């Protein structure tokens, strides 16, 4: 029997105990392969017009995945190794040469890795079709997905994993050299002692976490502020979380032991002391899971809210279906003919909006778009009559009545935190060649009627002021159209874009909507995909960790059963302890992600109505997490309660 045979037999004979490592190996391969094969799939490349952007986004995401997958495999590999230290020690004790043991472990790892790779690619091929279909569905694209094997993806995946497998195999080979024989036999006893719960560290944890939570509520306007605050915010969160699990939780458990009459009641004494014993060894796992959950929840929240609010964004950025600046010539008529002849999208409303483009001194206002001087800011003036008419054409209720030097501000996009009091009573001067005309704000309008362009400062003035200024600066005419079913005007939009010159600012709702959808679809897909990966990983990490601990706990539960604890009580105890281990990082993760999302909202990375998508993604997360919890309780119970 050669060494290779022994290694092969080892894997086959112990497949059950190897399963944990094997499954995480397959999982990693599936995830990576699926993602890479999407990257190479023709359907996806073709269906996105901006495939250059997509490729780079995919590239970035696959780098994140490689990092993640390597860490995950190394993690489960060291888990696996820890479980087998005793076995390796025994081989050595029985007199097998170190070199022989090392080679045996090397082969074993190689076999498992290769098998995992093959299985992962096979399963991944099936799954990648499913994911491609989901992706295209998100993009509103009705393209058929063919079932194919992406050779580039297989080569790519094989290369990446060959490196990882060789690395772990080499580590396995080195195992017997890295440890003394006695250390191999004591592997089980590592990291199992009641923690020293330093009060100071617990207090620091609370201070760091509340400090970074507080930062999330601070305004971040300049990019300098943003950089500094985010650095402090994330740093405080990571360190705070670690200290929280390392010291504060132990402290709390210790405190709960102080009430003897409650502590010495039923299984509580066992539950609490076991958790306390495990908390030191679990600190890193719990921290990692809390932070991964936070990242996953934030990512899913951002992705989904972008997708969810795409229509709202498009409505804001392009209130009318089509809009362009009149040139007074044949172009106007040609465009009008194209728009009105489109039978599938009948015109519901059309009008001309006269707009005066002027510079103004807005030093008195609190919001000035960055990159522009406050005393010479480009403004767009609209008359109250035109605004009301446009508002009517868009079926909106918002109206304005102005007289004399009264003016109304239209809310700029991404300035959601400004209120009427930031404008009311403040004056600005409009600079005409002849004079400086001062107008005073009386109200703030929520919705613009012009398409969005930066700097987005539109002001409604009374008809008399508008006409007066119009004598010095002639208004440009925005020709706007509202059509039915404006999300599907691809052909007309293409024709108009081809025909229009640069200076007419031809814009259509479709373009904005479609661009948003592509970005949001890509985002939700990538973020959702990464989110699922992280979720599966966090779930698996706790699951495997709990299972490993269950094997160590089995003896304890046997003792308890002998001194009169019923199976039912053991089950309840398992459920309670597992709940603690699951719920704690989840609660911290949800707390963290709420703060991250809050911070992202204050820098306008998330806009629009976010409550629904964020709550939805959290709910989905919690449900999947719950399934992991129940699976874990079931498996652990099966181990300790038999």
Partner 1 sequence: MIQPVVEAKQVNKVYGGKGNVYTALDQIDLTVQEGEFVGIMGPSGSGKSTLLNMLATIDQPTSGDIVIAGTSILKMNEEQLSIFRRDRLGFIFQDFNLLDTLTVRENILLPLALAKMNIHELERRVDEIADKFGIRQILDKYPTHISGGQKQRTAASRAIVSKPSLILADEPTGALDSKSATDLLESLRDLNEQDKSTILMVTHDAFAASYCKRVLFIKDGRMFTELVKGHANRKEFFNKVLDVLSVLGGGISDVI
Interface ranges with partner 1 (CB under 8 A): 192-194, 260-261, 264-270, 273-274, 276-277, 556, 559-569
**Of 267 and 374, which has the nearer Cβ to partner 1?**
267
- Per the CB < 8 A criterion, the answer to whether 540 and 27 are in contact is yes
- Per the CB < 8 A criterion, the answer to whether 409 and 454 are in contact is no
**Of 99 and 262, which has the nearer Cβ to partner 1?**
262
Q: What's the closest the beta carbon of residue 557 comes to partner 1, in angstroms?
A: 10
Between the CA atoms of 41, 46, 50 and 56, what dihedral angle is there, to the nearest 10 degrees? Answer: 10
Q: What's the closest the beta carbon of residue 549 comes to partner 1, in angstroms?
A: 12
**Of 467 and 566, which has the nearer Cβ to partner 1?**
566
Q: What's the closest the beta carbon of residue 571 comes to partner 1, in angstroms?
A: 12
What 3-state DSSP class applies to 397? coil
**Of 593 and 641, which has the nearer Cβ to partner 1?**
641
Q: Which phi-psi region, left, alpha or beta, contains residue 600 (left: φ > 0; alpha: ψ -120 to 50)?
A: alpha
Q: What's the closest the beta carbon of residue 583 comes to partner 1, in angstroms?
A: 21
Three-class DSSP labels, 94-163: CCCCHHHHHHHHHHHHHHHHHHHHHHHHHHHHHHHHHHHHHHHHHCCCCCCCCCCCCHHHHHHHHHHHHH
Q: 342 — phi, psi (to 5°)? A: -75, 100
**Of 92 and 573, which has the nearer Cβ to partner 1?**
573
What 3-state DSSP class applies to 343? coil
Omega into 455 within 30° of 0, i.e. cis?
yes
Q: What's the closest the beta carbon of residue 279 comes to partner 1, in angstroms?
A: 11
**Of 99 and 556, which has the nearer Cβ to partner 1?**
556
Between the CA atoms of 536, 539, 541 and 542, what dihedral angle is there, to the nearest 10 degrees? Answer: 180
| Neighbour tally for 395: CB within 10 Å | 9
Cα 23 to chain centroid, rounded: 25
Cα 623 to chain centroid, rounded: 17
Q: What's the closest the beta carbon of residue 257 comes to partner 1, in angstroms?
A: 9
Taking the C-alpha atoms of residue 628 and residue 535, their distance in angstroms, rounded to an integer, is 10
Crossing angle of helices 509-562/567-602, nearest 10°? 150
Q: What's the closest the beta carbon of residue 94 comes to partner 1, in angstroms?
A: 25
**Of 238 and 252, which has the nearer Cβ to partner 1?**
252
Q: What's the closest the beta carbon of residue 261 comes to partner 1, in angstroms?
A: 4
**Of 203 and 269, which has the nearer Cβ to partner 1?**
269
Q: How many residues would you count in the chain?
A: 642
Taking the C-alpha atoms of residue 75 and residue 104, their distance in angstroms, rounded to an integer, is 21
């Amino acid at each position: 029997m050669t060494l290779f045979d022994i290694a092969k037999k080892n894997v086959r004979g112990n497949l059950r105990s190897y399963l944990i490592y094997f499954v995480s190996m397959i999982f990693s391969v599936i995830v990576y392969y699926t993602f890479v094969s999407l990257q190479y799939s023709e359907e996806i490349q073709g269906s996105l017009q901006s495939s250059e952007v997509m490729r780079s986004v995919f590239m970035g995401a696959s780098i994140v995945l490689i990092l993640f997958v390597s860490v995950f495999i190394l993690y489960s590999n060291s888990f696996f190794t820890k479980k087998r230290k005793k076995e390796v020690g025994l081989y050595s004790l029985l007199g097998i040469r170190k070199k022989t043991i090392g080679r045996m472990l090397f082969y074993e790892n190689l076999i498992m890795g290769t098998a995992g790779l093959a299985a992962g690619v096979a399963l991944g091929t099936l799954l990648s079709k499913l994911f491609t279909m989901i992706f295209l569905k998100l993009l509103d694209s009705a393209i058929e997905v063919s079932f194919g094997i992406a050779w580039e993806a297989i080569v790519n995946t094989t290369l990446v994993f060959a490196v990882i497998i060789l690395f772990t195999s080499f580590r396995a080979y080195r195992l017997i050299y890295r440890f003394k024989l006695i250390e191999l036999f004591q592997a089980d006893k590592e990291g199992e002692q009641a923690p020293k719960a330093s009060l100071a560290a617990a207090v620091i944890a609370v201070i760091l976490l509340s400090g970074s939570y507080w930062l999330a509520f601070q305004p971040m306007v300049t990019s300098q502020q943003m950089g500094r605050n985010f650095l402090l915010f994330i740093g405080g969160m990571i360190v705070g979380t670690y200290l929280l699990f390392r010291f504060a939780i132990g402290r709390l458990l210790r405190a709960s032991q102080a009430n003897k009459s409650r502590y010495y009641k039923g299984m509580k004494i066992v539950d609490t002391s076991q958790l306390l014993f495990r908390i030191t060894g679990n600190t890193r796992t719990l921290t990692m899971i809390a932070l991964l959950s936070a990242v996953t929840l934030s990512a899913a929240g951002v992705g989904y809210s972008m997708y969810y609010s795409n229509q709202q964004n498009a409505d804001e950025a392009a209130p009318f279906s089509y809009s362009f600046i009149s040139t007074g010539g044949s172009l106007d008529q040609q465009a009008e003919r194209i728009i009105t002849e489109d039978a599938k999208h009948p015109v519901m409303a059309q009008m001309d909006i006269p707009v005066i483009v002027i510079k103004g001194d807005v030093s008195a206002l609190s919001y000035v778009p960055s990159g522009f001087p406050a005393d010479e800011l480009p403004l767009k003036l609209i008359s109250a009559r035109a605004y009301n008419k446009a508002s009517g054409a868009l079926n909106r209720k918002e109206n304005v009545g102005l007289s004399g030097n009264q003016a109304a501000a239209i809310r700029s996009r991404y300035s959601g935190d400004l209120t009427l009091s930031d404008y009311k009573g403040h004056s600005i001067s409009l600079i005409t060649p002849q004079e400086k005309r001062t107008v005073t704000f009386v109200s703030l309008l929520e919705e613009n009627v012009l398409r969005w362009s930066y700097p987005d400062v539109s002001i409604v003035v009374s008809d008399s002021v508008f006409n007066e200024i119009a004598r010095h600066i002639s208004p440009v005419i925005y020709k706007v159209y509202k059509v039915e079913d404006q999300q599907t005007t691809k052909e007309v939009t293409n024709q108009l874009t081809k025909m229009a010159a640069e200076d007419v600012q031809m814009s259509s709702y479709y373009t904005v909507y479609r661009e948003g959808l592509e970005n949001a679809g890509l985002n939700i897909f990538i973020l959702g995909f990464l989110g699922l990966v992280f979720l599966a990983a966090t779930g698996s990490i706790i699951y495997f960790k709990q299972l490993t601990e269950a094997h160590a706990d089995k003896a304890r539960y046997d003792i308890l059963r002998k001194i009169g604890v019923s199976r039912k009580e053991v089950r309840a105890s398992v459920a309670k302890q597992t709940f603690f281990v699951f719920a704690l990082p989840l609660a911290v993760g949800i707390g963290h992600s709420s703060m991250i999302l809050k911070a992202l909202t204050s820098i306008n990375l998330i806009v629009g109505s976010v409550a629904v998508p964020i709550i939805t993604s959290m709910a989905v997360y919690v449900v999947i997490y719950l399934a992991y919890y129940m699976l874990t309780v079931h498996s652990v119970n099966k181990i300790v309660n038999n």
